[in-house]
A and B are shown apart, each in its own frame.
Chain A
Amino acid sequence: MPLLKNNAFVSDEWTTLDDEAVLPEGGKIIVSFTRLAKDWDTLAKFPGVLGVKLANTDKIDSLAPYLSQVAIIVLAFPAFTDGRAYSLARGLRLDGYRGELRAEGNLLPDQLQYMHQVGFDSFIVNDRFPLQSWQAASHQMSLAYQRGLFRVAGEGEVWSQRHQGFAPWEEQPHAG
């Protein structure tokens, strides 16, 4: 499945490991949260770069001890109508996580902008849709009313634009 990052399709540098798979010598690997917690003693010494994949029922509180050690967090969308991962993403960003935040699973192009806004910055997308649909759909709205969201270039925040000196809450760099 194609990987969309910074609105361009790029190759994926990460390898996702099954819970039973043998740990490689190095590189960039993603493990489940279950494995991360269970094998932490081993994984803490892993010479490459670590990432973790959360189910949308996992609690971000329990991820806290490992947060500074992971460079990517993958959040799953089991169905495009299941919005839990939006709140997980927002919670992680509000907690200060600044690494890569990836969405995968059952996504629709029309949801991409929402995902950007809550803090996702990379997306495993379904190639059943024309690839340009994914790129176009993430920029359909140039304005949002809510404060404290992430923005891609060209997006504005209504309430801060209305009131001079009412700066957006935070300049929020995307990890990607």
Chain B
Amino acid sequence: MYRYDEFDHKFVAERTAQFRDQAARRLSGEITEDEFRPLRLMNGLYLQLHAYMLRVAIPYGTLSGKQMRQLAYIADKYDRGYGHFTTRQNIQYNWIKLEDTADILQALADVEMHAIQTSGNCIRNVTTDHWAGAAADELADPRPIAELIRQWSSLHPEFSFLPRKFKVAITGAPHDRAAVKVHDIGLRMHKNDAGAIGWEVMVGGGQGRTPMIAVTVRDFLPEKEVIPYLEAIMRVYNLFGRRDNKYKARIKILVHELGAEKFKSEVEAEYARHPAQSTEVDERELARISAYFKAPAYEKLSRFAPHFEEAKRANPEFARWAKNNLAAHLVDGYTIVNISLKPEGGIPGDATGEQMRVMSTLAELYSFDELRVSHAQNIVLAHVKLEDAFAVWEALVASDMAAANYGLIGDIIACPGLDYCALATARSIPVAQAISRKFANVATQEHYGAVKLNISGCINACGHHHVGHIGILGLDKKGEEFYQITLGGSSSENASIGTILGPGFAAHEVPDAIETILNTYVKLRTSGEEFLHTYRRLGPAPFKEALYAAA
């Protein structure tokens, strides 16, 4: 994985010192809260319902054992002993004091981390496939270009006061696990006949109150043009994106209002206007970064792992976890371990300091000292020997991290909701917990197969409800929380926005409603057909009928 050189170290050290000064000027009253706000936001510091929240950047979700250990230290020392992994592949701490923040940023800088641009109207932490570099279907590792974009976007002087936040997602695989079509910019890698890499550039996707699927503006952008082309897009957005209404300020609205063709011609005109050589991707820099992402020193192993097979025969619980939580690795004898942070009745994405330390140790022992945070709020050990999988599982069992529900109905995405968030209109966490308990039995979850259930506590859609196969949106009606259900969303390469089924439900009715939907699916599915496919084949009618006809 990427390591800082002297320049990266100096940059983050200076930035930390700068924030220490800004916080001191705020505490002394020299600057007002209004003036401090954009400064603290660009360092990841929010003011929430009960306390400050600090969101720490985990670039493209990749971190080392040492870095995870430091996150555990921060959770224990400055928070209440836990942290929350988010759909942005970041971690956030919910109980932070302003006076401690500069010290926390220093602790992060000590392990080559920061909180730069995890908030604010700027280019946010770049996200990518959590199986990058390991997935069997990948063309090439997308993280070198993600790191290049991280550097380019860090404190970009022109793009730090945009109309609204800006999110870039990247995938190097045809099967999109990075949800690139619902980001402000999505990049998808392609290879041409000559074997050269180019990028499909998609713009204007997003969720929130106006969910949209991105449009493609370039089919195959040569790699060295990525930065100058992104600059052209950003400049058009910065100049012409709406600033009169924050709910219409994202680039998706600009693309929609101009129309895809007009938007594209504006970008192309801007791109043609200025000499690209000023910002072109330098091959040596890309080569330097790529060297950090070269494949780890895999052993030459047989595809058949006898001890692994034996452990599965001897231990059905392990076999079940192995079936659901392991994924195909591109190298024989290795596997991708998906650690579910969704125990029965748990808070999706939460981990204690102790759990983080256990995951650090497992990464160090079994996965080339590397971890990933997935946008589905789980943790990935990307390169584990099949023969080590049992030892990993045993350690996870001992730390309550062995839920065998990866990709199943219990693997719920949920935002923090009204329990923490100043924007929320309803609670998300208790609803996620109730559904998790309702479907606690993993055999039941397997019966329903692959289902993505996503919950947001407000229209801003941090819990990605629009792209859940089943989406739940918490709203407020005259002081009462109620929950709208959508079906048919997807964040994959065949992305779609879910359709609202009908009137909402009270919190206590939601788990039964989900069960009704799932049972309807089971009744109607053809052999081996997944939930989303059944829905796409039949549409909402049978599900509506089942949910509302009885009432």
A86 to B157 CA separation, bound complex (whole angstroms): 8
Determine whether B298 belongs to the interface, using a CB cutoff of 8 Å to chain A: no
- Out of A87, A141, A144, A163, name the residue touching B285 (CB < 8 Å): A163
Q: Tell me, in angstroms, the Cα distance from A141 to B325 when the chains sit together.
A: 44
Q: Which of B14, B161, B238 contacts A140, CB < 8 Å?
A: B14
A133 with B11: in contact, given A113-B157, A145-B151, A149-B157 (CB under 8 Å)?
Answer: no
State the CA gap A66–B5 with chains docked (Å): 46
Across the interface, do B235 and A130 meet the contact criterion of CB distance under 8 Å? no
Q: Is A108's CB under 8 angstroms from B288's CB? A: no
Contact B15 A141, beta carbon cutoff 8 Å: yes
> Are B11 and A110 in contact, CB atoms less than 8 angstroms apart?
no
Q: Which residues of the other chain, A, contact B285 by a CB distance below 8 angstroms?
A: 159, 162-163, 166
Is the CB of A117 closer than 8 A to any CB of chain B?
yes
The B243-300 residues at the A interface (CB cut-off 8 A) are 243, 273-275, 277-279, 282, 284-285, 288
Tell me the bound Cα distance from A141 to B13 in angstroms.
9
- The answer to whether A87 and B279 touch (CB under 8 A), given A140-B18, A143-B14, is no
A86 to B162, CA, bound (A): 10
Q: Using an 8 Å CB-CB cutoff, how does the interface string of B1-21 with A read, 1 for contact, 0 for none?
A: 000010110110011011001
Contact A141 B238 (CB under 8 A): no
List the A side residues contacting B31 at CB < 8 Å. 108, 129
Contact string, B341-353, partner A, CB cutoff 8 A, digits 1/0? 0000000000000
* Residue A170 at the chain B interface, CB threshold 8 Å: yes
Q: With both chains docked as a complex, state the minimum distance between the C-beta of B104 and any C-beta of chain A, in angstroms.
A: 19
- For residue B8, which residue of chain A has the nearest CB? A158
Q: Which residue of A lies closest to B154 (CB)?
A: A145
A87 with B38: CB separation less than 8 A: no
Number of A-B contacts (CB under 8 A): 116
CA distance A130 to B21 in the complex (A): 14
Chain B interface helix/strand/loop/mixed: helix
Name B319-340 residues within 8 Å CB distance of A: none
A107 CA to B279 CA, complexed, in Å: 27
Complex: how many Å from CA A93 to CA B154? 21
A146:B11 contact, CB within 8 angstroms: no
Are A87 and B239 closer than 8 Å at their CB atoms? yes
Nearest neighbor of B25 in chain A, beta-carbon distance = A133
Closest CB in chain A relative to B172 CB, distance in Å: 22
Residue B33 is within 8 A (CB to CB) of chain A in the complex:
no
A80–B239 contact, CB under 8 A? Answer: no
Q: In this assembly, does A50 line the interface, its C-beta being within 8 Å of a C-beta of chain B?
A: no
Instruction: Decide if B519 is an interface residue (CB 8 Å cutoff).
Output: no
Contacts of A169 in B (CB 8 A): 277-279
Closest Cβ–Cβ distance, residue B109 to chain A (whole Å): 14
Q: Is B499 an interface residue (CB 8 A)?
A: no
A19 within 8 A of B: no
Answer whether residue B30 sits at the interface, using C-beta atoms and an 8 A cutoff.
yes
Q: Is the CB of A133 within 8 A of B159?
A: no
Q: Is A90 an interface residue (CB 8 A)?
A: yes
Give which listed residue, A108, A110, A143, A146, contacts B10 with CB less than 8 A.
A143
Q: Are B239 and A84 in contact (CB under 8 A)?
A: yes
- B279, A141: Cβ atoms under 8 Å? no
Contact of A148 among B154, B235, B278, B282 (CB under 8 A): B278
Cβ–Cβ contact A115 & B157, under 8 A: yes
**Distance in angstroms between the alpha carbons of A95 and B274 in the assembled complex:** 7
CB of A85, distance to nearest CB on chain B (Å): 9
| Min distance, Cβ B42 to any Cβ of chain A, angstroms | 9
Bound complex: CA A129 to CA B25 (Å): 10
Chain A residues within an 8 Å CB radius of B162: 83
Is B121 a contact of A81 with CB atoms below 8 Å?
Answer: yes
CB-contacts of A88-120 with B (<8 A): 88, 90-91, 94-95, 108, 110-111, 113-118
User: A148–B7 contact, CB under 8 A?
Assistant: no
* Closest A residue to B160 using CB positions: A114
A147 to B280, CA, bound (A): 9
Inter-chain contact B157/A163, CB cutoff 8 Å: no
Q: Is the CB of A80 within 8 A of B38?
A: yes
Q: How far is the CA of A149 from the CA of B160 in the complex (A)?
A: 15
Partner of B7, one of A95, A115, A147, A161: A161
| Contact A158/B7 with A145-B154, A163-B285 known, Cβ cut-off 8 Å | yes
Q: A158-B7, A163-B285, A166-B282 are in contact. Are A118 and B157 (CB under 8 A)?
A: yes
B22 in the interface (beta carbon within 8 A): yes
Give Cα A115 to B152, complex, Å: 17
Complex alpha-carbon distance, A82 and B278, angstroms: 25
Chain B residue nearest in CB terms to A115: B157
With A83-B238, A90-B235, A141-B15 in contact, do A146 and B243 touch (Cβ < 8 Å)?
A: no
Task: Select which of B159, B235, B275, B282 is within 8 A of A91 by beta carbon.
Answer: B235
Taking a contact as CB atoms under 8 Å apart, the answer to whether B17 and A148 are in contact is no
Partner of B279, one of A82, A86, A108, A146: A146
Tell me if A80 and B30 are in contact (CB < 8 A).
no
Closest chain B residue to A163 by CB distance? B284
Whether A159 and B35, one on each chain, are in contact in the complex, defined by CB atoms closer than 8 angstroms, is no
Q: What are the residues of chain B within 8 A of A82 when measuring CB–CB?
A: 161, 243
- In the A-B complex, the 10 residue pairs with the closest CB atoms: A83-B161, A148-B278, A114-B157, A117-B157, A145-B151, A94-B274, A140-B18, A87-B238, A169-B278, A158-B7
What are 29 A-B interface contacts by the 8 Å CB criterion?
A81-B38, A83-B162, A86-B160, A86-B238, A88-B239, A90-B158, A91-B235, A94-B274, A108-B35, A110-B18, A110-B22, A114-B160, A118-B157, A133-B25, A141-B11, A141-B15, A141-B18, A144-B157, A145-B155, A158-B11, A158-B151, A159-B151, A159-B282, A162-B285, A162-B288, A163-B284, A166-B282, A169-B277, A169-B278
B residues apposed to A, CB below 8 Å: 5, 7-8, 10-11, 14-15, 17-18, 21-22, 25, 30-31, 35, 38-39, 121, 151-152, 154-162, 235, 238-239, 243, 273-275, 277-279, 282, 284-285, 288
Interface, chain A (partner B; CB < 8 A)? 80-84, 86-88, 90-91, 94-95, 108, 110-111, 113-118, 129-130, 133, 140-149, 158-159, 161-163, 166, 169-170
Given A114-B160, A169-B278, 16 other A-B contacts at CB below 8 A?
A80-B38, A83-B158, A83-B159, A83-B161, A84-B239, A86-B160, A91-B274, A94-B274, A110-B22, A116-B157, A143-B14, A145-B11, A146-B152, A146-B279, A147-B278, A163-B288
